[in-house]
Amino acid sequence: MEPNRLLRSCFKIPGEFPSASEKVAVKAGEPARILEIRVDSTNADRRFCSRAKTAGGFKTASNAKKGGKMQGSWMEYDVVVQKNVPVPMRDGVVLAADLYLPARNGKVVEGRFPAVMERTPYDKEGRVNEGRYFARRGYVAVMQDVRGRFQSGGEWYPFAKEGPDGYDSVEWAGTQPWCDGNVGTMGGSYCGSDQSALATLNPPHLKAMVVAVGTSNYHKSSLRQNGALELRFMVYAFRMATTSREALADPALKAALVEDYERVGEWLTRTPYRRGSSALRFLPSYEQWLLDILGEGDYNDYWKQRGYAIEQYYEEHADVPTVYLGGWYDSYARGTTDNYVALSKMKKTPQHLLMGPWTHGGWGNSFAGDVDFGPDAVLDDYNGYRLRWFDRWLKGIDNGVDREKPVRIFVMGGGSSEKDRSGRLSHLGTWRDVVDWPLPDTTYTPYYLHADGTLSLEVPEASEPSRFTFDPRDPVPTIGGGISAANEVMGAGAFDQRGNRRFYGCKDTLPLSARSDVLVFQTGELEADVEVTGPLTVKLWASSSAVDTDFTVKLSDVHPHNVDYPDGFVQNISDSIIRGRYRNSRERTELMVPEEVSAFEIVMYPTSNVFAKGHRIRLDVSSSNFPRFDINPNTGGPLGRDRRFALAEQAVYHDPDRPSHIVLPVIPV
């Protein structure tokens, strides 16, 4: 029977049934009907069927499976909210949490339930929908402001110190009279990474996690990337200041902070940032954090704090069932996959990975930037997806999630390359369930750079290097990519790599390839589809006239021209950067010797994309990508403090002894 008709007949609902996960509301005391729910959380064809004698959820494993039919929690409760419940920390600071408790007739239901917790710096008041969703389905939802934000006490210092507070919060929840001792954590971005931070302390009551768009190491692939600073975090400092506790208590201060935030694009041109020069001076911990991340380049004890360096503590990390969720155009794509790769091998409990074509938190959209991946790309029931995971590991419901393949990826490509109805390029794609990441049948294939600008499987012949001049005063503008928290100055996702006034720093509408400081290497038109799925690495042999400089790389899918895109469409797939002083180690500075050739290994963010027949694979090499990354002044001076600059004469080598190349993870088609 067609699913819509089945639901209407089973529940005697005239017309269309409600959407998403609020489809079924069974009142206590009413007889339950046979229920079939199709959950299309990532457009997987999964069905949950259940038969019950009385209304209500499934609170124990004993009634989790009957007659071979899958079951899950349903909306059987009302909700009572307790606001700003105090949660004491080990140092005496008190954090505030809102509790969403299962209720009936306006009263909290007696008994113990599993708890799900989200710890956020973005105001727990914004988590009302999530809190109600889980409470109605037999969970206590704990939504907490992190230290120093909104209703919680203490001083906020982003990311670094979230481990102990998270541990104390989980243990507090697990020992409350309304909790059965099982606590799951959830949340994305900051709220994803702070889960991983607390997990490195292995709280006993932590039993499951859904970590969305979180990092593995802020120094390696977030705040910094191969030595360079991601300037989105300068934007982040100004933005978060506008909702600080101090700003909310002082209208005059808030006005000053908002004014600076609204001109944050101007502040990006006034680097290095000088202490006391902006309204951040009224928020000492915010300004100090900005100065710290600008100036701390070496991977030292500052960066090895638990809140920053999750991977530093993998051995101590809790062994609990965890989903890592991310997107190919997310700012934490590398961190998400790195966490899965390491912990799936080190831990005994199930570790799952879900990667879509999304930007940061953009799983509810079918597009990223100016490129659309089709309706199947949407994660249309995010709460339902998390509920299913928690049902299995916090309630013991046998819903089959543990018998599915642990890795689900969206393989981009296969579209028409023309505009769809929304005006975006149609790239499309398909979901694939696999046994591991990277894929076991991956063939790591070097594509070599050549002096004539080609990119091919052949090792290059003897040739002179390709040269360009890098002027820090005229950086290559950022056009899309894996970016977050900085929409004010740079948009995330896939875009045609040509200038446009909507992109910060663009002075014209010409292709980036027209710039003299951008080297372009590309294949001929492909004779067959080439699927590239997995981690990406560039091995670059290069030299510079400077003692310190940057080299950037960008992988793109070159779509052929058509009536909608007469000049074609160069879709960015992944990018990265490396700072010369960190070419040999992230842990210590080692300045370059001018004109001496060095080998640079540039780790890019992973991807999954089919470069279709007739398309081209392209790699751009330059020395800047601004404002995605801070600009290297080429002087070798102290990071975040040097006010000088110098031109750098760059050379990229492509000969038999120095065969610069990108390693593509090719999957047999």
Beta bridge partners of 115: 140, 183
pLDDT score recorded for residue 10:
31
pLDDT score recorded for residue 669:
80
SS3 track for 262-319: HCHHHHCCCCCCCCCCCHHHHCHHHHHHHHHHHHCCCCCCCCCCCCCCHHHHHHHCCC
**CA–CA separation, 356 and 607 (whole Å):** 10
pLDDT score recorded for residue 21:
34
pLDDT score recorded for residue 453:
98
Residue indicated by tokens 């120093």: 148
**CA–CA separation, 244 and 249 (whole Å):** 9
Whose CA is closest to 488, among 242, 229, 211, 191?
Answer: 242
621 and 654 Cβ atoms separated by less than 8 Å: no
- The DSSP output letter for 437 is S
**In the sheet that 367-368 helps form, which strands lie side by side, from edge to edge?**
367-368, 371-372, 425-426
pLDDT score recorded for residue 35:
30
pTM metric for this prediction: 0.90
The one-letter amino acid code at 303 reads W
Mean pLDDT in consecutive groups of 10 residues from the start of the chain, 669 residues: 33 30 34 31 32 28 46 96 98 98 97 98 98 98 98 98 98 98 98 98 98 98 97 98 98 98 96 96 98 97 98 98 98 98 98 98 98 98 98 97 97 98 98 98 98 98 98 98 95 98 96 98 98 98 98 99 98 98 97 98 98 98 98 96 96 98 96
Instruction: Give pLDDT tens digits for 483-527.
Output: 999 999 999 999 999 999 999 999 999 999 999 999 999 999 999
pLDDT score recorded for residue 429:
98
**CA–CA separation, 340 and 211 (whole Å):** 10
pLDDT score recorded for residue 70:
61
The 8 Å CB, 24+ separation contacts for 295-302 are 295/638, 295/639, 295/640, 295/641, 296/639, 297/224, 297/227, 297/579, 297/581, 297/582, 297/589, 297/639, 298/586, 298/587, 298/588, 298/589, 299/219, 299/220, 299/586, 299/587, 300/587, 302/160
Beta bridge partners of 50: 35
Longest distance between any two alpha carbons in the chain, whole Å = 82
Q: CB under 8 Å to 126, separation ≥6 — which residues?
A: 120
- What ranges make up the beta strands (E) of 366-418? 367-368, 371-372, 407-412
